[in-house]
Amino acid sequence: MHSHKWLGMLWYDMPLGLFLCLGFHFILKIPLLHNLPSSLGSRLQYTSKFNFIDLLKRKPLIVLSSLFIGVFSHLLWDGLTHLNIQYPDARTSTTEFMGHRLYILLQYVSSFLGALYIMYKILLLPKATDHYAAPQKLIFWIYTLLIAIFVASILVTNIFDDISIYNLVVVYIILFSFLVGLTISSILYLLRLR
């Protein structure tokens, strides 16, 4: 749980954030742009020309301060939407609203509203006329889904001897498995492009 401690911001969250940025720009960005539905991919096409390494070399303070603001705001929001910031899944809250713990309700509602806002802003972007779309998008997403199911089944069968902890981490397993599937599918896609 180092990621949810204030000191962990510097030695854990910042390097991890930089690693994830590099991974996104080197592995995920182009395959995603090519395989997203055209209504999204054409609006995000402009990002294909963005060179993260160039920005990191030219303006490292901007990248690092952006990472710091992202990490800090994440911890601040977790402090508002979680009962215990060091143990975000703590379940000892008795404050409820309509039968749901208030902390969890606030977390889910704010995440949902944030996702809606991001989608709204993306849909306001103009569509690119020169958008490259992969001819076999469905295969990319089928690979992603099959790999995710495989990873999730391995995790579930090896982690859950005690079914009582299942509800605590099912969302994390789904997200992690999907990201592994997306990463492997993206690597395979990039290898096919060469």
Name the token pair of 161: 């001897």
29 has a pLDDT exceeding 90 = yes
pLDDT averaged over every residue in the chain = 84
- CA distance linking residue 54 with residue 25, whole number of Å: 12
Task: Read off the pLDDT of residues 128-174 as tens digits, 9 standing for 90 and up.
Answer: 887 777 788 999 999 999 999 999 988 887 766 555 455 557 778 88
Segment 38-43 mean pLDDT: 89
Segment 42-53 mean pLDDT: 91
- CA distance linking residue 107 with residue 103, whole number of Å: 6
Segment 88-109 mean pLDDT: 64
Place of tokens 């889910």: 108
pLDDT band at 110 (very low <50, low <70, confident <90, very high): confident
